[in-house]
Copies of this chain bind each other. A is one copy, B any other.
């Protein structure tokens, strides 16, 4: 939002929970936006933004401009179908904060099917959350149509919405498509970030880790057959949430710029391996 406002020459205010990842804070400040850190969770930030929107008449991407923002996210679904050669995937795994993206992926699939751009097909859309903020997945697993709000506590801060605005519709979409929801712990999120990076060369932020880890769990549970094709929605770059994995991926091994020191390092590794 800050980048697009800068590019369009608009003045921008960015409202964030004050404990947001350093990378995301800097990534708003750099564009010249006025960044307001709110001492509270996303839910409290959203409530305050709604109040400001009403009082000041300002346009908030996530409040009074939300319909445009939400419709815009359909483009992710359009691109998935286009890149698969104009078909909807059998399985799609989407991370859920407000739950909006999951419902818009469904809307995009339905639109292309109605337009005849994509053949009608049976597909499932699955939802992914962090266990530390899992109101939607908890409700889905219990077979409920409504979620119970929670207080978030997870490293996946971009998903830390305890009162998800589109939670009801996300549950409805999963029910309609026969999809499942699941959630994973912070440690599993870190492991999933590494798994994706080491296997695919893609470094995802924590939300992407949630999607990968939940997909793995759904495959293990037989909800996604291991031989079925599936699309995992990786929604952010890992450079934005480096704090989450820093210290969990090892460290560089330091040597002097000397061939002898490097040979000693390799020799000790080989000795270690042959043991």
Contact = CB atoms under 8 A, between A and B. Distances in A.
B22 A252 contact: no
B30 A262 contact: no
Interface in A219-237: 237
A26 interface: yes
B254 A18 contact: yes
Interface stretch (A74-82, A121-129, A243-251): A243-251
A29 B250 CA distance: 7
A31 to B, nearest CB: 5
Interface string A20-32: 0011011101111
A165 interface: no
Interface residues of A, number: 64
A198 B38 CA distance: 23
A141 interface: no
A37 B222 CA distance: 43
Given A30-B245, A201-B3, A35 B259 contact: no
Interface stretch (A48-56, A87-95, A111-119): A48-56
A36 B194 CA distance: 19
A47 B257 CA distance: 8
Contacts of A240: 239
